[in-house]
Amino acid sequence: MTPVENPEISEYRRREESITLSSIPEQLAEAGELTHELLTLNFGPHHPATHGVLRLLVTLQGELVRDVKPIIGYVHTGIEKTAEDKAYWKVIPVIERMDYLAYYFNSMAFIGAVETLLEAEVPRRAQYLRVIHLELNRIMSHLVWLGTSALDLGAISMFWYCFREREQILDLFEMSSGQRMHTRYFQVGGVIEDIPTGFAAKLSAFLDVMPGRVDEYGALLNRNEIVLQRLRGTCPLDAETLLALGVTGPLLRAAGNPWDLRKATPYSSYGDFDFKIPVGTVGDNYDRFAVRMAEMRESVKIIRQALDGLPEGPHMTSDRKIALPPRHELATSMEALIHHFKLVTEGFRVPPGEVYYPIEGPRGELGCFVRSDGSSKPARVHMRDSSFVNLQATAPMVEGSYIADMIATLAMLDPVLGGIDR
């Protein structure tokens, strides 16, 4: 469909019309399959079922989806550009705002890359504290996914139950860092503060409750005829196609490939913990749902082990070139004052080089590429966001299925637009 040359329309409208939908109509006409007129439906950017400001141009033949084109960029805020203008430690708050449901993961990927460049040692206690917060974040992200996905399938009450447990996790985040979201808790060289008194008890109480809650969600959904019909057997995609499209995380594991960076290349002491990787069999929407449900239980197990085995020791590296000196030293030690001044004003310098640091986020491989030119600001920060790559699997998944299944598939894809657009 080439746009008709019309001098009346603006350059912007002309380019917008230049978005070619596909060559689907011609192909179908050639094959003699075109029995219905094709309808192009603009779905989003403001639509409750697109989980953010995602716009889909859907080509429909009756109720069958023939083609989907995702159009993104509506919440692009230029965080990568902003990061180039900030000292390394000031990048952490902005980078956490990329994927707003996985803020600990974003900062972990960035900090891991910077620590690799600096060759900084992270104390074991800090690594364990990081694991506790990362896994709490994973449960939190999956709870938001479960609540909103159930909402898309018509199960409104699930949303309230999921957000009830999410609130408990956010309270824990508030306790350890003072913030419920975008906590800035991870710092280069460790974590900003040790966990306060009472955190362990509160976390432990949550860990006791959570597996039972997952059972309750299962009781509501696993035998629910509507949920099963919407999920079982709909929009499967095999592992090989997923790998070619770069899809990782629960979507890949649902198709039977047990790839998980926590096991494959353990970072931040993940090798110390005993946990299983849930996998699916056929890779349909039900497997995607079941894998994430099982992952919440595994995360609880990891947090329990990390909490019980939490080593004593410092929560921050002792290298004063990258870590702020303890507050009490500032009044007595000239050296500490100098370090403090230097770190707060200029920040630390990082040796020149390029590093890619991938971790397992809630939606798959979350990697941060950092290039340093030797100054105190990064020369390039690029986040390989899992949602951005996974979104490419939308079209192959839903082609040929019903439009209602597309909604369910989009929910099971779990895209977070803040991460996609950055």
Partner 1 sequence: MPDATGLELIGQDLGEAVLETVFFRNQATLIIDPASNRSVLAALRARGYSFMSSVHGVDYYPEEPRLGVIYELLDMSRVDRISVKLRLHTDAPQLASVVPDLPGDRGWATANHQEREVYDMFGVIFEGHPDLRRILMPEDYEGHPQRRDFPLGGEPVIFTVTESDSMGST
Which positions touch partner 1 (CB under 8 A)?
Answer: 9-13, 15-16, 19-20, 72-73, 76, 78, 80-82, 84-85, 116-117, 119, 243-248, 259, 264-265, 353-356, 358, 365, 367, 369, 371, 379-380, 382, 384, 388-389, 391-392, 421-422
DSSP 8-state assignment for residue 189: T
C-alpha angle 205/210/216, rounded to 5°?
A: 140
DSSP 8-state assignment for residue 330: G
Rounded Cα distance between 53 and 44, Å, is: 7
Task: State the minimum distance, in angstroms, from the CB of residue 16 to partner 1.
Answer: 6
Determine contact, residues 285/231, Cβ cutoff 8 Å. Answer: yes
Rounded Cα distance between 74 and 95, Å, is: 18
The amino acid at 228: L
Task: State the minimum distance, in angstroms, from the CB of residue 323 to partner 1.
Answer: 20
**Which is closer to partner 1, CB of 245 or CB of 294?**
245
Task: State the minimum distance, in angstroms, from the CB of residue 152 to partner 1.
Answer: 24
**Which is closer to partner 1, CB of 120 or CB of 336?**
120
**Which is closer to partner 1, CB of 391 or CB of 407?**
391
Task: State the minimum distance, in angstroms, from the CB of residue 71 to partner 1.
Answer: 9
**Which is closer to partner 1, CB of 16 or CB of 167?**
16
Determine contact, residues 361/99, Cβ cutoff 8 Å. Answer: yes
Sheet with 38-43, edge to edge strand ranges = 38-43, 55-61, 64-71
Task: State the minimum distance, in angstroms, from the CB of residue 148 to partner 1.
Answer: 23
Q: Is 235 exposed, middle or buried (0-12, 13-18, 19+ CB in 10 A)?
A: buried
**Which is closer to partner 1, CB of 132 or CB of 242?**
242
Determine contact, residues 141/103, Cβ cutoff 8 Å. Answer: no
* Buried residues in 186-219 as b, exposed as e (16+ CB within 10 A): bbbbbbbebbeeebeebbeebbeebeebbeebee
**Which is closer to partner 1, CB of 126 or CB of 389?**
389
**44: number of Cβ within 10 Å:** 21
Task: State the minimum distance, in angstroms, from the CB of residue 259 to partner 1.
Answer: 6
**Which is closer to partner 1, CB of 24 or CB of 228?**
24
Which DSSP helix (H) or strand (E) runs through 418?
helix 417-421
Task: State the minimum distance, in angstroms, from the CB of residue 63 to partner 1.
Answer: 26
Pairing of strands 38-43, 353-361: unpaired
**Which is closer to partner 1, CB of 20 or CB of 318?**
20
Task: State the minimum distance, in angstroms, from the CB of residue 11 to partner 1.
Answer: 6
The β-bridge partners of 186 are 191
Task: State the minimum distance, in angstroms, from the CB of residue 367 to partner 1.
Answer: 6
Determine contact, residues 369/381, Cβ cutoff 8 Å. Answer: yes
DSSP letters, 88-122, are: HHHHHHHHTTSSTT-HHHHHHHHHHHHHHHHT---
Rounded Cα distance between 115 and 135, Å, is: 21
Task: State the minimum distance, in angstroms, from the CB of residue 60 to partner 1.
Answer: 20
**Which is closer to partner 1, CB of 247 or CB of 294?**
247
**Which is closer to partner 1, CB of 246 or CB of 256?**
246
